[in-house]
Structure 1
């Protein structure tokens, strides 16, 4: 091939071809095409050169039209193995379908790199809007792509961090939820109440325990907190440690229902009478709460209404240009069952 000649291509060049030619990621090419100032000049030059070398032409008007009319909503969820998020995703998808929109569902599996890859891919497919429950980490790159795309984007349950994050955020009132749980347990005669689960330092963990901490501060009690993975395994393994280090604890609030269900399993194995020896309250009120033994008390976020409200807000933004409020906290309530009676 003569110097300066374009590589032979059997198909119309795509953004993937540009990325390969320039030796960068597809998301980086997207940022260059959108004119994002966060891209280094040397990278911008390399991408533009690659576009020229392979004959790639970016049709900005076509991309804008495709994004506005695709009828696709990108839904990026941090952990679809958690039934709480699965229930939300299913209900959200059904609500969108009633309005003629389709959902493109992606599971980041708490992997920031995978999250960035999926967001970039959905931008390239021209989704009309984004709903994202973000994984932790990689916020800057994810935000750069979302900001450059200028696609209506809402965050649910968790929020990306950073000064460049201007996307509306809707989440249950976690603080009020743990307050309700703590007040409930003390009203039932509990003397020492612990908080179990949630990774230390994470904003959602701090929010979910904040109401509990306020109640204990008002009572003049010292908090008992055991943080860790929000899983059944953690809940099951924690009970023996709790009984050993804090034998007087007679009530627990769990970061989520998975931790609480693990607690119930451990109590059954160790002969601890749930509801009498130890009262347990979970968080999220997934369907398993009704069928556990004993049935699990939990803080309900009313996911059917939450999913419906989220769908209505993103559709209002796309169709009527009505941008949602920057921050919305949806109401929660305590669903009392046998585990705390």
Structure 2
């Protein structure tokens, strides 16, 4: 090589990203031993010399964190992304945010691009599908990465997972509806067979079994449109209440029953899931399982920073508690 070797040459020789080489040069604890050895061997082989003065000048800029979200159209995920970004910004880190739009192939491309552009860590709310390609890239780069809100990669020792106690949430919502006198309670929303759907439904199924009641399920995309469509199906099934996969489905049901002339909280009772802002703004107000997404986002940022800065790997799995906010749609009482 006639020219002076660069960090990109080292990365190509070692088969890693530029950011991984940078972390090795900084003696970061984030990089696995075998990856560090491969990078140092590549440096020796091509004759790379570290210019520490130049590196110190570059280090004056903020660090970079990648955030990939499965659906930024959903206010629940948008709020998480916003609070995480603001928390990291307060600590001197910039965040690159991308929407995978529930497309695992696009997710892999986004993760690869973020690694190429030098992110120091990633937070991923994964799309469903074959998500292994994205996480394999992260493993090769040796970067800290946390799965949030959904778990699609079982390697939680490498990619710790953090979410909410969804099963407890649907169980609590179901008991609440039973206490309000509901007898034919349905679970509405969520694509059947997906882990997140089964998890959010599991508490509902357990409570129905405990009460000796038959479950009623209507699965589909977790959108307002599906909720609107499901209203007539629930009327036809003679259901008198519903636990919804998320608040978007619940808000759709809210509109569907209004169109059908049914009084929420009396003729039909609804509990959503996530407690996004719209739940308290619609009329009648919508009951929902509350997930403290602001606190969860701040805690996620703190765990990531501890991992990046101090080498403190988060626990393989963490579940944040949930609460139930009972409003008119399930109680019939005005607020």
Please tell me the TM-score bracket, short chain as reference: 0.7 to 0.9
Segments of 5+ residues of structure 1 without an aligned counterpart are: 1-11, 16-28, 36-56
Match of 1:33 in 2: 15
Compute the displacement of 1:221 (Å): 1.1
Corresponding position: 1:222 with 2:214: yes
Q: Is the 8 A contact 1:143 1:164 kept in 2?
A: no
Compute the displacement of 1:60 (Å): 11
Q: Is the 8 A contact 1:158 1:171 kept in 2?
A: yes
Q: Distance in 2 between matches of 1:161 and 1:221?
A: 34
Q: Is the 8 A contact 2:247 2:275 kept in 1?
A: yes
Compute the displacement of 1:220 (Å): 1.2
- Of 298, 303, 322, 2:288 maps to 298
SS in 2 for 1:259: helix
Match of 1:312 in 2: 302
Q: Distance in 1 between matches of 2:201 and 2:215?
A: 10
Segments of 5+ residues of structure 2 without an aligned counterpart are: 1-5, 18-45
Match of 1:283 in 2: 273
- Of 245, 263, 272, 2:253 maps to 263
Match of 1:211 in 2: 203
SS in 2 for 1:126: coil
- Of 86, 92, 101, 2:84 maps to 92
Match of 2:330 in 1: 340
Q: Distance in 2 between matches of 1:313 and 1:195?
A: 34
Q: Distance in 2 between matches of 1:289 and 1:97?
A: 29
What's the TM-score once normalised by structure 2's chain length?
0.81
Does the C-alpha gap of structure 1 residues 192 and 289 become closer, same or farther in structure 2, counting only changes over 3 Å? Answer: same
Match of 1:157 in 2: 149
What's the TM-score once normalised by structure 1's chain length?
0.80
Compute the displacement of 1:165 (Å): 6.9
Q: Distance in 2 between matches of 1:339 and 1:262?
A: 13
Does the C-alpha gap of structure 1 residues 59 and 304 become closer, same or farther in structure 2, counting only changes over 3 Å? Answer: farther
* CA deviation map 1:199-218 (0-9, x unaligned): 00000000000000110111
Does the C-alpha gap of structure 1 residues 154 and 61 become closer, same or farther in structure 2, counting only changes over 3 Å? Answer: farther
RMSD: 2.5
SS in 1 for 2:217: strand
Greater CA deviation, 138-147 or 307-316? Answer: 138-147
SS in 2 for 1:34: coil
Greater CA deviation, 169-178 or 70-79? Answer: 70-79
Q: Distance in 2 between matches of 1:278 and 1:129?
A: 46
Does the C-alpha gap of structure 1 residues 30 and 293 become closer, same or farther in structure 2, counting only changes over 3 Å? Answer: farther
Match of 2:319 in 1: 329
Match of 2:189 in 1: 197
Q: Distance in 2 between matches of 1:123 and 1:255?
A: 33
SS in 2 for 1:312: helix
Compute the displacement of 1:140 (Å): 2.0
Compute the displacement of 1:273 (Å): 0.6
